[in-house]
A and B are shown apart, each in its own frame.
Chain A
Amino acid sequence: EDKVVQSPLSLVVHEGDTVTLNCSYEVTNFRSLLWYKQEKKAPTFLFMLTSSGIEKKSGRLSSILDKKELFSILNITATQTGDSAVYLCAVATDKLIFGTGTRLQVFP
């Protein structure tokens, strides 16, 4: 059965801290791995990774994929209160398989 596991489930940090969110997977027919950010409403797309070792960056967020070890990490540097959200990892097969998410809370 296809499976995506995220850790930690929850994270509480102070502004300015750096955080690393983890995502491991076991799926057949891997196409790509995606990260989404969900605040109080719909998940919004952050990154899609298809190749190992190539870092994707967007401002303070970056992500990398390891297809040999079957995991990805999402880094957020210099966190801000606006980064507080649930971060969802999903693996694309013929559909998206979502993990349960990591809830990040950033306090001033």
Chain B
Amino acid sequence: DAGVIQSPRHEVTEMGQEVTLRCKPISGHDYLFWYRQTMMRGLELLIYFNNNVPIDDSGMPEDRFSAKMPNASFSTLKIQPSEPRDSAVYFCASSSRGQGLRGNIQYFGAGTRLSVL
């Protein structure tokens, strides 16, 4: 398997613009997670899905952030409008709870480095 695939790898945009980050989870995985990582706050969970349904979005910082998972192989994280404080690395991860305890292991994509000027 190719692993979790994220795009783009880097995104530079201006304040106020809409940003869309994309993720393709590992085939067969039924959980998908979106994280944000900064030096100040470390790795923060934003939202996660089970079988395409959002389960916990308590980490989404503001209404400017939204996430969707229209099918088992694709998810998006959208920021509209973007602000400089949104600059961070955004990771997507997936896991499969059907594997028992090994389902706790999340596999991460390479991340999208977002810079909002």
Contact = CB atoms under 8 A, between A and B. Distances in A.
Contact of B33 (A42, A95, A100): A95
Interface residues of B, number: 18
Contact of B43 (A31, A50, A98): A98
Contacts of B19: none
B43 A41 contact: no
A99 B106 CA distance: 15
Contacts of A88: 43
A85 interface: no
Nearest to A97: B45
Interface string B42-64: 11010010000001100000000
Label chain B's interface by main secondary structure: strand
Contacts of A50: 101
B104 A92 contact: yes
A31 B115 CA distance: 36
A42 B108 contact: yes
Nearest 7 CB-CB pairings of A with B: A92-B104, A42-B108, A100-B42, A98-B43, A32-B104, A43-B108, A42-B110
27 contacts: A31-B101, A32-B101, A34-B104, A41-B110, A41-B111, A42-B111, A43-B43, A43-B91, A43-B108, A44-B108, A45-B105, A45-B106, A48-B101, A48-B102, A48-B104, A88-B43, A92-B104, A94-B55, A95-B33, A95-B48, A95-B56, A96-B33, A96-B45, A96-B104, A98-B42, A100-B42, A101-B42
Given A41-B110, A95-B56, 14 more contacts: A31-B101, A31-B104, A34-B105, A45-B105, A48-B105, A50-B101, A88-B43, A94-B56, A95-B48, A96-B33, A96-B45, A98-B43, A98-B45, A101-B42
Interface of A: 31-32, 34, 41-45, 48, 50, 88, 92, 94-96, 98-101
